[in-house]
Amino acid sequence: MEIQNGKTKLLGTSCNLRTIGYKYQSQHNLFQENDVGQLASITITKKRSDTVLKLSYSSSIRTQGALAATRWYFQIDGQECRKPTPIDIGMWQETADNTHVPAVLTGICESIAESGAALAAGQHTVTVRIGQMLSIHVADAISGWHTASILEVQEMCPQY
């Protein structure tokens, strides 16, 4: 890295360590009782092919049901991130308690392609989904119970 005009710059690239594009969506008092399916969606136009997407979703979540689990995860254009890793969180419930907890699902996605090719510039749809965790029984789930649910997508220069 080098400092150029007061900004940090990655050597060998024209990409500064900053956000290139940003989209934000917030919904309050969203009470979603989906156990499987889409919770939120946003479309972003990625300006460059040498950038990554930083994805964040925060909400109140609940999994209810004895010996059951729920998985919250991101998809881009209908596919999960492959590089560096899928972005997900899971919640296991051993008893039938009805506990709602705050949760933040966040991560970086470089590629959804099996080949690991960079996510191309252009329009992409980012969705937050809910569903089965491994081979565990799907729980009775709730997202966004009496709180704000926030979905953010940032196009950023890779920081490596």
Domain residue ranges in the chain? 20-156
* In CATH, 20-156 is 2.60.120.1340: yes
Six token digits for residue 71:
């998985």
User: Cα(146)–Cα(30) distance, rounded to whole angstroms?
Assistant: 7
State how far the Cα of 110 lies from the Cα of 77, in Å rounded to an integer.
13
**Average pLDDT of the segment spanning 22-43:** 80
Lowest mean pLDDT among 3-12, 56-65, 134-143: 3-12
Which is more confidently placed, 136 or 53?
A: 53
Q: How far apart are the first and last CA of the chain?
A: 9
pLDDT band at 23 (very low <50, low <70, confident <90, very high): confident
The candidate with the shortest Cα–Cα distance to 48, out of 24, 14, 88, is 14
3-state secondary structure of 22: strand
Whether residue 70 is predicted with pLDDT greater than 60 in this model: the reply is: yes
- Report the 3 state secondary structure along 111-151: ECCCCCCCCCCEEEEEEEEEECCCCCCECEEEECCCCEEEE
Question: Could you give the C-alpha distances from 122 to 53, 60, 81, in angstroms and in order?
Answer: 12, 32, 17
Q: What is the rounded distance in angstroms from the CA atom of residue 109 to the CA atom of residue 105? A: 13
- pLDDT for position 140: 80
For residue 6, give the DSSP letter.
Answer: T
| Confidence class for position 107, pLDDT limits 50, 70, 90 | very high
For the cut 80, the answer to whether the pLDDT of residue 137 exceeds it is: no
Q: What is the mean pLDDT of the chain?
A: 83
Residue range 31-56: mean pLDDT, rounded: 89
